């Protein structure tokens, strides 16, 4: 692996979340007029919105995952892989792939009432690395998708989020012709230690993708609670 762990150092990522607004119907000082006035519809609190990244190497299934779980038509920026990229793009192992994401994927999923996840998929080719900083701005966490046929392609994404202290989970997208490693074997191969959860998934399956996102949300909460505890003054 290219770099060693950062021991959790790094900036705490800002939430792109808005707290539920504590809105209450306007009250009238005059109770009689309140009786005759039309009762305003009870306004539900605004949902909490969380920005998450779906990252990983070329062709691991990022666009597929965002598309599978999104409840809106996902935004995709696919372009054809042409001869011009032959000496620039690494398509080793996924030679049959004909398109690649050139800017980002975008989708949205309501994971439960009041909690909406906005998903941003990164481009897979190295030449689009400059996009990662833009996309990760305001993100609370990330999914690092991995393909066991090309596990080394996940190293850069793991390093990226470790170095920034951004909570992430590793989701192993199971391809039919890939070897089925256990989560522990993946953890060891990626030198993850005890920190980030490793889950096995099928990026094409909505329920499986949702499970990955739920695992990520729980991990984000656990990381932030632990950070709060460790920064609290001793009694
Ligand atoms: N068999 C199989 N095919 C998959 C799976 N996930 C994705 N695919 C296919 O693999 C190809 C790559 O998927 P994409 O979602 O475009 O991958 P990506 O990570 O977004 O690719 P880039 O944006 O180019 O880096 C597509 O043809 C998918 O249909 C999977 O779990 N099993
Ligand atoms: Mg893509």
Percent of the chain residues past pLDDT 90, beyond the cut? 59
Cα separation, 49 vs 16, in Å, equals 7
**Whether the CB of 141 sits within 6 Å of ligand 1:** no
Spatial contact of 206 and 213, defined as CB atoms under 8 Å apart = no
* C-alpha distances out from residue 90 to 58, 93, 114, 174, 226, Å: 8, 9, 41, 21, 39
Structural Rg of the chain based on CA atoms: 21
> Closest Cα partner for 223 from 196, 183, 186?
196
Domains, in order of start, for the chain: 44-231 (3.40.50.300)
pLDDT (tens digit, 9 = 90+) per residue, 177-226?
A: 888 899 999 999 999 988 899 999 999 999 999 999 999 999 999 999 99
- CA of 80 from ligand 2 middle (Å) equals 11
Ligand 1 atom at shortest distance from the alpha carbon of 60: 19
* C-alpha distances out from residue 180 to 93, 105, 184, 194, 204, Å: 17, 27, 12, 21, 17
pLDDT at 227 over 60: yes
Q: How confident is the model at residue 28 (pLDDT cuts 50, 70, 90)?
A: very low
pLDDT (tens digit, 9 = 90+) per residue, 121-133?
A: 999 888 888 999 9
Torsion of Cα atoms, 31 then 33 then 38 then 41, to 10° = -30
Q: Which residues surround ligand 2, an ion (CB under 5 A)?
A: 62-63, 101
- CA of 119 from ligand 2 middle (Å) equals 13
Residues 6+ apart with CB under 8 A from 189: 151, 181
pTM here is 0.80
């Amino acid at each position: 692996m290219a770099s060693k762990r950062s021991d959790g150092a790094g900036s705490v990522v800002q939430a792109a979340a808005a707290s539920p607004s504590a809105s209450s119907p306007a009250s009238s000082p005059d109770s009689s007029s309140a009786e005759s006035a039309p009762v305003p519809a009870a306004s539900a609190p605004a949902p909490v919105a969380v920005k998450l990244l779906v990252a990983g190497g070329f062709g691991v299934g990022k666009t597929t995952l965002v598309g599978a779980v999104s409840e809106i038509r996902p935004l995709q920026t696919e372009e054809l892989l042409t001869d011009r990229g032959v000496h620039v793009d690494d398509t080793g192992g996924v030679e049959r792939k004909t398109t690649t994401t050139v800017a980002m994927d975008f989708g949205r999923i309501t994971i439960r009432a009041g909690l909406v996840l906005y998903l941003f998929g990164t481009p897979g080719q190295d030449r689009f690395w400059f996009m990662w900083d833009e996309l990760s701005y305001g993100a609370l966490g990330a999914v690092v998708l991995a393909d066991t046929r090309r596990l080394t392609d996940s190293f850069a994404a793991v390093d990226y989020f470790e170095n920034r202290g951004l909570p992430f989970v590793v989701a192993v997208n199971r391809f039919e012709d890939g070897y089925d490693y256990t989560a522990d074997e993946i953890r060891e191969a990626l030198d993850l230690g005890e920190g980030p959860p490793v889950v096995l998934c099928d990026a094409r399956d909505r329920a499986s993708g949702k499970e990955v996102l739920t695992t990520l949300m729980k991990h984000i909460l656990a990381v932030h609670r632990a950070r709060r505890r460790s920064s609290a003054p001793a009694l």
